[in-house]
Amino acid sequence: MAQNEKIRLTKLAAHGGCAAKVAPGDLKQVLLQLPTMTDPNLMVGFDTSDDAAVYRINDELALIQTVDIFPPVVDDPFDYGRIAAANALSDVYAMGGEPKLALNVLCIPEDLDKAITLDILRGGQDRCLEAGAVICGGHSIKDKEPKYGLCVSGFADPSKILTNSGAKPGDVLILTKALGTGILNTAMKGDLIAPASAKAAIDSMATLNKRAAEIIKRFEVNAVTDVTGFGLVGHSYEMATGSGVTIVLESGWLPLLPEAYDMAQMGIVPAGAYGNRSWIDCGADTAEGIDLALTDIMFDPQTSGGLLVSVPEQSANALLAELRDSIPVASIVGYVEEKQRKPILIK
């Protein structure tokens, strides 16, 4: 382990975690040029920018398929593996399913200590064990920059699939994890935050959305997505455009990780946040006088973030109360209105 401690994995990567995603605007321009592939049993494809694909096997069973991989977001290899796996598994939870099978996807430098590679894979296995999913193989290639993630298969009742495109006017938006991981990951690279704040960010990223998903299933909700690389505003934008509504995000209601606001005030903001802001800029109205640090946090690319749930107002308080019994940080962050001039309004 002594040798592991000498290597800072984040120094081997140009970008970390979900901040390494291709800019959504650039990605959309490419995807629009591809022909649409159809199948009568394909329930969810990439046309609504949802979290995973869903394929109906029969009237009682649907397959949920996703893949997620990114460069190191933290230096400890075991934590890196846990976070990458939790992030990949989250897509299945966001669709209302249960992850069951996973394949490792690994890119690794030839000269990296094998003990580090082992710890990364151990971290991924740790999260899969908690999720009740089985890692049954995978694929690895040589690369100058480490990258790790999972291809995950899950299952659900076709009639109970959750998507990001069913939000309705009058709904309340609940977020199940605190924001600020991209900012704090940037700060961690420069040793700018207290160890307790770093631990809080790592613990949040490594936490499965399993418990939140179990609770959400007990309520009639209209839309769900997980908040990752496109930030709270970006994933809310996808929900709003897919649902044909306007989403109002209240900057004063955000749950924040320790020191996230302080770092944002200092300008410790990852490039991905500016990319997200550039992409959404024409689709969002921001009220005058909103704190810039708070809006930076709202555009901040999250790694293994929480579930964003659009729930009818009459059920919101009951859902929030039940979530908070297990997840105290769960918070109302906004609400849904009839479609207005732009899909997003930040207040």
Measured distance CA(225)–CA(311) in Å, rounded:
12
Counting Cα atoms < 13 Å in the Cβ hemisphere of 240 gives: 28
Two tokens at 294?
């708070």
Q: Which helix (H) or strand (E) holds 264?
A: helix 260-265
d(CA 93, CA 307): 9
How many whole angstroms separate alpha carbon 102 and alpha carbon 132?
A: 10
* CA 128 vs CA 10, 53, 74: distances in Å: 23, 20, 19
The residues near 286 (Cβ < 8 Å, ≥ 6 apart) are 295, 345, 346
CB-based contact 217:319 (threshold 8 Å): no
Token reading at 197? 């704040």
In whole angstroms, give the CA distance from residue 30 to residue 35: 11
Q: Which of 18, 128, 136, 151 is catalytic?
A: 18
Catalytic annotation present for 18: yes
Residues forming the active site: 18
